[in-house]
Structure 1
């Protein structure tokens, strides 16, 4: 698929609102490394090549291991993720997929045991934000591969 338009150039006014969410999340008490892991996982679910490329590069630049990236799609079976990460990944998947029209009570209970109420709100905003970016990039055929990670 070729790019339909340069949404990042033509849609600047519309995207400014979403950039504000990123600014908010940058100040969250949730670890930035965990948020980027969530962005990568949600992008896997949604099949957003541009976001997968971008977040893989950002995660690697921040020191994430190849092994954890390769196995993220199977995080439930892999022993490389902490209880906090597992709770966040489960929450992100449930908020993205909305099984049976709601986030299951057991998923909420697991997440609530690992995160404060404010952190859970921030995780939810993070999931909503990456889902929105995924849909924009997929809708406009944004091509993966051009993103360069910022030096850490």
Structure 2
């Protein structure tokens, strides 16, 4: 199933992407919220490998089955906080980008929960998972093998 294996990837490519992950992991953003974003963006992009990974990461944090199974319909459920809803809407909007700026009705509510510095981190985290999703869509790494803590 793999088109490009881990050994085919140019030296330094994943290491540099992981350096960005480390940078983001050391940001003031809540890890569980970021994992929720990563899972939702991966669902939107149809990235099976990343859905498997971030589902498992969220399970490891103690996330409930109810919220995990409802994430794909988060707007129709009462299980997500106002902050999570604002972030999920921003993540979805940034993921399905078009030729116009992010609308004010998507950006402005972020300011209720995040300062501009944190919005920069959040934006980078969303673009980073989109990068990973796109790589996996080309490489076709096999989903299901990811182990939390073992990568």
TM-score w.r.t. the length of structure 1 is 0.93
Pair 1:29 & 2:23 matched: no
Q: Distance in 1 between matches of 2:144 and 2:132?
A: 16
Q: Distance in 1 between matches of 2:138 and 2:98?
A: 23
- Unaligned runs of at least 5 residues, structure 1: none
- Map residues 11-90 of structure 1 onto 2, 5 A cutoff: 11=9, 12-90=11-89
Contact 1:5 1:140 in 2 (8 A): yes
Q: CA deviation at 1:101?
A: 2.6
The 10-residue stretch of structure 1 (46-55 or 94-103) with the greater mean CA deviation from structure 2 = 94-103
Report the equivalent of 1:105. 104
* Partner-residue secondary structure (3-state), 1:75: helix
**Alignment root-mean-square deviation, CA:** 1.3
Q: CA deviation at 1:27?
A: 0.8
* Partner-residue secondary structure (3-state), 1:71: helix
Deviations 1:55-88 (A, max 9, x none): 0001001100010011111111111111111111
Contact 1:87 1:114 in 2 (8 A): no
The size of the alignment, in residue pairs, is 149
Q: Distance in 1 between matches of 2:113 and 2:99?
A: 24
Deviations 1:9-31 (A, max 9, x none): 33241122211110011111110
Q: Distance in 2 between matches of 1:60 and 1:39?
A: 13
Report the equivalent of 2:8. 10
* Partner-residue secondary structure (3-state), 1:72: helix
Q: CA deviation at 1:112?
A: 1.8
Q: Distance in 2 between matches of 1:42 and 1:102?
A: 19
Moved over 3 A (4+): none
Q: CA deviation at 1:99?
A: 4.4
